[in-house]
Structure 1
Amino acid sequence: MTATQSKTKKLAMGPEDVATIEDRGGEIHVLISPTSVGSTKMIMGTATVPVGGKVLQHAHPHSEECFYVLRGEGKIVFEDGEVPFQAGQAVLTPQGQAHSIFNTGEAEILVVFASGPLAPSPKEGHIILEQED
């Protein structure tokens, strides 16, 4: 057994090890999850949003979500206001709060995100509230 593997699952994951999710705006790689490494309390991954792009309005009914901005700048829009962010900042989305993310800068946004606790099922963890234009 190596340092990157447990008895049953790989413990170190990269974007090449998981599917790319593209139906929410931007690209998402869920690196740490129950299916990828057997996590039981949270998920973690990376997301990008292209220049001028947005992540569709959605909510996480069972979880808080946070992300750390590695590159770019934008705003997260809640029902009662918006919060600008830039590289070097962390952002918290409270459990159940509907939100969307807009890239307002001149570079692609790259974030590392985490969310927990887990929803009863993946489908219940991320509820899309709007459709693409």
Structure 2
Amino acid sequence: MTATVVRKIRASEVPANRRRGGDVRVVLSPKTVQATSGFGGTVTLVPGEYICEHYHPYSEEFVHVVHGSVLMRVGTEEITLEPGDALMVPVGVRHRMENQGTERAHLVFHLSPLAPRPELGHVDTETRPDGEQESAPEVGGPR
């Protein structure tokens, strides 16, 4: 029998990805812990900040608010999430998240199942207002 390796990952040690806005950190993934069924991490949004609209053609996304509040647009619905609230975004549904509050918002997210290849996992339908584009977060790697 093969020994299972358990790894603790500290979110502060994972580089922030701001490709879609906000501070997104993919903490648990195929690359960081050899995950085989999904990936997850944290999102931090300061007041006025948002994550651009996008969708996941292969994955459901689970979002849980830890601190602050965010307005989620899921399809045509707008839903305010506050601490302790959670939401699931179905596969293929466009969604966007914005901090319209006055304090920093902190969320935890998880996506599952994995796309066949990391570059197929997100489809952007909106770009950042500053026009900046960063590379996609590295969630792939050996499984």
* TM-score when normalising by structure 1: 0.89
Counterpart of 1:129? 125
Q: Post-superposition shift, 1:111?
A: 0.4
C-alpha separation in 1, matches of 2:22 and 2:125: 16
C-alpha separation in 1, matches of 2:66 and 2:12: 19
Gaps of 5+ in 1: 1-5
Asked if 1:58 is matched to 2:62, the reply is no
C-alpha separation in 2, matches of 1:76 and 1:16: 25
Contact conserved, 1:59 with 1:97, CA < 8 A, in 2?
A: yes
The secondary structure found in structure 1 opposite 2:31 is coil
C-alpha separation in 2, matches of 1:14 and 1:86: 24
Count of residue correspondences = 128
C-alpha separation in 2, matches of 1:26 and 1:89: 19
Asked if 1:32 is matched to 2:25, the reply is no
Q: 1:76 is matched with which residue: 72, 76, 101? A: 72
* One-letter identity of the residue aligned with 2:124: I
* One-letter identity of the residue aligned with 1:91: L
Q: For residues 50-85 of structure 1, what are the alpha-carbon distances to aligned partners after superposition, in whole Å with 9 as ceiling and x for unaligned?
A: 101111001011000011100111211123221111
Asked if 1:67 is matched to 2:78, the reply is no
Q: Larger relative CO (CA 8 A, sep 6+): 1 or 2? A: 2
1:22–1:7 Cα change, 3 Å: farther
* One-letter identity of the residue aligned with 2:25: H
The percentage of counterpart residues that share the same residue type is: 31
Counterpart of 2:103? 107
Once structures 1 and 2 are overlaid, which stretch shifts more, 121-130 or 109-118?
121-130
* TM-score when normalising by structure 2: 0.83
* One-letter identity of the residue aligned with 1:124: L
* One-letter identity of the residue aligned with 1:106: T
Counterpart of 1:49? 45
Q: For residues 36-62 of structure 1, what are the alpha-carbon distances to aligned partners after superposition, in whole Å with 9 as ceiling and x for unaligned?
A: 010000101001111011110010110
C-alpha separation in 2, matches of 1:56 and 1:44: 18
Higher strand share: 1
The secondary structure found in structure 1 opposite 2:57 is coil
* One-letter identity of the residue aligned with 2:98: F
